[in-house]
Amino acid sequence: MSGFAPDIALSALFQRNAAARPGDCALIAADGRYTYAEAANAVAHLAAQIASFGLPARSSVALLLPNGCELVLSLLAVIQSGHIPVPMPVAWRKSDLVRACREAEAAALITTAHFSDERLPALAAEAAIEVFELSFPCAFGADLPDGILPLSISGEAVAVAVSPSPGIATLHPSPGGVSFSLHGDEELLAAGLGAMLAADMRNGDRIVSAVAPSNLAGLGSGFVPWLLCGGTFSLLSDIPEYIDASGERCHVVAPAPLLERVCAAAEASLASAIAVHFAGTAETGGADIAAERVVDAFAVAEICLIALPREDRAQPRMIPLGHIQAGNGAAAPVVVETSISESGRMLVRGAMIAKDAVGESGWCDTGYASVSSGPSGFAILPPDEIVAIGALRFSFPDMERRILAAALVTSVETIADSVLGSRLVIRSERPAETSRALLDAGLPRIIASAVRKADNARTAAG
């Protein structure tokens, strides 16, 4: 297959953009606004603080940060300090965080006190007590609990000489816990180039993303294209009332079920709207979105991100069998190749696929079932045990076991949901007590909020 051979690191892309347009806006989010010069100074200052910890080369650094400037700056700073950033969803509670830090062998954790009324620094302190390797729990903000090291973004930049970072790691659900996937620069650039060209992103364009760069989908659809294009990266922590897309080409990225709601907030026509599918190929709107093109981006676990511009604006694009070129153009490089196994599961190989995920056959078995759609390609279904709730994915058997162990419930099930993709329904005779018990057991709030009264749960779920 025609290969994809990048010759530049992610950190070098950022530094190139900062040198080329220091006064241009780089980042906008609820937690701040940075020009490229300000962002570069913040990254260098933060990287020096991380380097002062004296961690072994290429250590894992967990990032428990919401979708905002602190997360992006921390990603870049950990890379610049020669370590491996491991972003984690802020929806996770103590038990999930502890298991994830152990799996990642995290030596440090960065969180923030600047996130609504969530007590993330206290959560980090509790996790550090249980994870022996986690020696440096840190946080941005004031009034931090004992044991949490303060970090700052503003300050004098200090050059740090380190060995290159091997990439960015992400976590994904598996029966009994989470699994660790390391994505090198080549794999991340292949994913980002595919999304960038599919959406026709150009130099200086603005990317507005409701998908945090805490998984391969968020990294490939927003973070890496931003580094490639050198425009403005706007990060959404909630569905906005409006998006000012006037005066510049603007691209919106959102989970597929939320795409129309997010795009409706744009005050002008968009250059593209990218629907990120976390639960396989799903029906989603798009016909009425005011955008030049609609793109489907299929998040296949943490293995690959396949971005394809739609041919029929009202229907998700089917995944082609064989070579998939960045932007779907005849002259573009191949970023991934697909095949179907004898058992009907989707196989992939190519530049985007982590080398340790490839089997002896040269293919990576995604575990996703394929559903043929004739000559136009195929749709995919995730393994039965994986449930996607918005952009969060859970191993359902594992989650069910943890719920049943934490509280007295009647039943646990999932149902289809037009907004979240799937919805968890937990039935209990005492819903308020059960919700509190689930939170006390360290389960995410999105799980605890799914409890319904046993006798009317079906009505409420419908």
pLDDT for position 428: 87
Together in a domain, 141 and 178: yes
Q: 393: domain CATH number?
A: 3.30.300
DSSP codes, 439-455? HHTT--HHHHTTEEEGG
pLDDT for position 187: 92
Together in a domain, 211 and 356: yes
Residue 345 lies in a domain: yes
Among 143, 159, 182, the domain boundary falls at: 182
pLDDT, tens digit, for every residue of 268-282? 889 999 999 987 777
Together in a domain, 236 and 355: yes
Together in a domain, 238 and 323: yes
Together in a domain, 217 and 339: yes
Together in a domain, 114 and 260: no
pLDDT, tens digit, for every residue of 226-243? 999 999 999 998 888 888
Together in a domain, 178 and 262: no
pLDDT for position 417: 59
Tell which residue, 285, 275, 292, has the closest CA to residue 221: 275
Does residue 2 have a pLDDT over 60? no
Among 381, 411, 427, the domain boundary falls at: 381
Residue 2 lies in a domain: no
Which residues, listed in sequence order, are joined to residue 279 by a DSSP beta bridge?
Answer: none
Residue 115 lies in a domain: yes
- Provide, rounded to the nearest whole percent, the portion of the chain with pLDDT above 90: 50
How far is Cα 224 from Cα 274, in angstroms, rounded to an integer?
14
Tell which residue, 106, 108, 110, 97, has the closest CA to residue 140: 110
Together in a domain, 17 and 157: yes
Together in a domain, 275 and 415: no
Residues of the domain holding 265: 184-381
Together in a domain, 307 and 261: yes
Q: 41: domain CATH number?
A: 3.40.50.980
Residue 4 lies in a domain: no
Among 347, 381, 415, the domain boundary falls at: 381
How distant, in Å, are the alpha carbons of 22, 38, 75, 145 from that of 72?
A: 17, 13, 5, 24
Mean pLDDT of 61-79: 96
Residue 205 lies in a domain: yes
pLDDT for position 411: 83
How distant, in Å, are the alpha carbons of 4, 119, 272, 293 from that of 351?
A: 6, 40, 25, 26
Residue 47 lies in a domain: yes
Residue 259 lies in a domain: yes
Mean pLDDT of 200-217: 95
Together in a domain, 95 and 227: no
Residue 5 lies in a domain: no
Which residues, listed in sequence order, are joined to residue 395 by a DSSP beta bridge?
Answer: 386
Together in a domain, 193 and 171: no
Tell which residue, 254, 255, 248, 288, has the closest CA to residue 271: 248
Number of domains comprising the chain: 3
Coil, strand or helix at 386 = strand
Q: 345: domain CATH number?
A: 3.40.50.12780
